[in-house]
Structure 1
């Protein structure tokens, strides 16, 4: 059985610049739902996105792009996908001629995001790209440029920013109901054994920081409502026989304006899932803060943030679909994904230099 990554490497794909019709998202207002094609049918597409699309109001699963032919009949039977809406990585460009597909959702290993997000944009389709946006900041900029050149919208799959309790914390960053913010603690990780093979490969964008670290990184930014001004980081590897290319655990501190500090940690060797904020006049937290369901929290004044009952991915995709239908700004644009990767690159640079504090 040929896995997706092997198929892509063997196919020798390159991004093709094509002459395409101008996107018509004003005409899409007449459509009941937007057609979504998932690129990559791994665990996240199979277990989360495809089921969530069945719960959306403004979009639906109409197409798939896969390098695993054996998956095609399974998906077609389960979701009623037409033969003409099935593609592989070699003929994905042909989606440009398919009016059934309005959005292409990139759900591939991080190291492949840029290549296929650009292919999607060049096909004249709106682009949803799973987090982290890309392996490098330069790749992020290339994705943004391709989407701008083709007049399509780009949204990054930071589902937490669409989640109700998370949005409450984002609002509190502005209203400051507990006074001046002092410290943020954000941690996300799990014990991986065995590990997904591509997450152990540097070339594919593997490592705890890329996979899980963007959760506390993004959370520190949206919880403070600010951008960090410096960073210090270190890697910890307790299982070198497994993690010989990428980080198993990364600890990083972000310094923000107004004296705010965020202490963050991410790991493939330790389970953790909490976001805590200390202020001059109180505190609040979410525990867990980035699970697929059950995100809940509490504040020092007795406020309780009960779990949000809706499917996070369904809400995320409906929010992004409405932005397309109404020609409005998306909630999490490519520029937000780019900011995280710029900081992530500095985190790796700091860790490689003994935890040196670097300006951002």
Structure 2
């Protein structure tokens, strides 16, 4: 990241305005809102690569929210962010003084984009400050933490939405509808694989090797598989069996490099899943009585495409990154403005955390079948 000069800052804003105006007609149906609706002020909590490269640029494309503040444990990052986005001193906070955000009327929502072990304490701080919360996945370290996050937001009468960006992607939403429509008959089984080969060595990602921070493939990528298996069937898993297949123990000491797991659903539906930091995996495939359909890739930042056994194609729809993140934040902002539940509320993240708890329990118990808590 580098500091931009004031003249570059102005040009950037002008170009973004032109891009947004030109893209408006291509936005999905239902994206528009009444002109009188105000834009919600969003504070990004955690200024790592995802915030820097995707969320902050996406906020410049949104119609219903705007970047109004930052919260960081790295004060050296602040000057560049202020120069890039014109954030005032009053919109800058540290993790330790984040409670002061309660006194800032320009900030309506905090978006928590930190290592996983900080999700719970920062969510509780934001909720107690009276701010709505958007939290990246995985929601927490375990289901107990997730329950306390849901409770804190409910008690403080603020919304909690989980950053399941795929649930805002049109092809994914079509698959969610097909779980109910059953165009190829009863769902028999599915496969959901999510992973990438090659470990990122940047400072932003070092925590992903630390078990105390929620590192490992299952937390990072496996959540995509769990969530996809649930939304593709419209069912909740009742049991799990899992195998830690980590090969490079010298690098992945204490965290999983590769996890293979099987989810059992009602109606004898089975989901077979693999997640990995050592393999390139990105497919969601659903087998039914009279055919099949799939997305591959199914969880990329853009270009998610698919096909079905009857020749149906699912072309990419949202455009290049960070359009997906802009859609996600706009839809979550609309849920707040319209007083309705977001597409992926805290309870959605909690259900996934119960599955993750069962996955890790199965591994600890020698790959035994473990029931998912209800």
**TM-score when normalising by structure 2:** 0.87
Measured after TM superposition, the shift of residue 31 of structure 1 is: 5.4
Residues 81-90 or 153-162, more deviating? 81-90
Give the total of aligned pairs: 332
- Structure-2 residue corresponding to 1:356: 368
- Structure-1 residue corresponding to 2:231: 222
- Structure-1 residue corresponding to 2:79: 73
Measured after TM superposition, the shift of residue 96 of structure 1 is: 0.1
Matches of 2:156 and 2:77, distance apart in 1? 31
Question: Is 1:143 the equivalent of 2:149?
Answer: yes
- Call closer, same or farther: CA 1:31–1:174 in 2, change over 3 Å: closer
- Structure-1 residue corresponding to 2:67: 61
Q: Report 1:238-249 matches (<5 A).
A: 238-249=247-258
What secondary structure sits across from 2:173 in the alignment?
Answer: helix
Q: Deviations over 1:16-37 (max 9, x none)?
A: xxxxxxxxxxxxx965200000
- Structure-2 residue corresponding to 1:40: 46
Question: Is 1:323 the equivalent of 2:335?
Answer: yes
Matches of 2:283 and 2:361, distance apart in 1? 26
Matches of 1:31 and 1:180, distance apart in 2? 42
Question: Is 1:263 the equivalent of 2:272?
Answer: yes
Matches of 1:209 and 1:96, distance apart in 2? 34
Q: Deviations over 1:55-87 (max 9, x none)?
A: 111000010001212211111111111111011
Asked if the contact 2:43/2:107 (under 8 Å) is kept, the reply is yes
Q: Deviations over 1:119-174 (max 9, x none)?
A: 01011000000000000111101111110111100000000001000000000000
Which of 242, 259, 274 matches 1:250?
259
Measured after TM superposition, the shift of residue 194 of structure 1 is: 4.1
Matches of 1:31 and 1:149, distance apart in 2? 26
Matches of 1:98 and 1:30, distance apart in 2? 22
- Structure-1 residue corresponding to 2:16: none
Measured after TM superposition, the shift of residue 229 of structure 1 is: 1.1
Measured after TM superposition, the shift of residue 355 of structure 1 is: 1.2
What secondary structure sits across from 1:76 in the alignment?
Answer: helix
Measured after TM superposition, the shift of residue 244 of structure 1 is: 1.0
- Structure-2 residue corresponding to 1:129: 135
- Structure-1 residue corresponding to 2:10: none
- Structure-2 residue corresponding to 1:299: 308
What secondary structure sits across from 1:218 in the alignment?
Answer: helix
Q: Deviations over 1:245-291 (max 9, x none)?
A: 11110000001111110000000111110000111111100000000
Matches of 1:355 and 1:308, distance apart in 2? 40
Which of 93, 116, 127 matches 1:110?
116
Matches of 1:309 and 1:167, distance apart in 2? 12
Matches of 2:255 and 2:159, distance apart in 1? 32
Asked if the contact 2:170/2:318 (under 8 Å) is kept, the reply is no
Question: Is 1:52 the equivalent of 2:67?
Answer: no
What secondary structure sits across from 1:254 in the alignment?
Answer: strand
Matches of 2:200 and 2:146, distance apart in 1? 30
**TM-score when normalising by structure 1:** 0.91
Question: Is 1:290 the equivalent of 2:299?
Answer: yes
- Structure-2 residue corresponding to 1:20: none
Q: Deviations over 1:171-217 (max 9, x none)?
A: 00000001111110000001232442101111101110000000001
Matches of 2:63 and 2:136, distance apart in 1? 20
Residues 196-205 or 214-223, more deviating? 196-205
Q: Report 1:198-213 matches (<5 A).
A: 198-213=207-222
**RMSD between superposed Cα atoms in Å:** 1.1
- Structure-2 residue corresponding to 1:236: 245
Which of 176, 179, 203 matches 2:182?
176
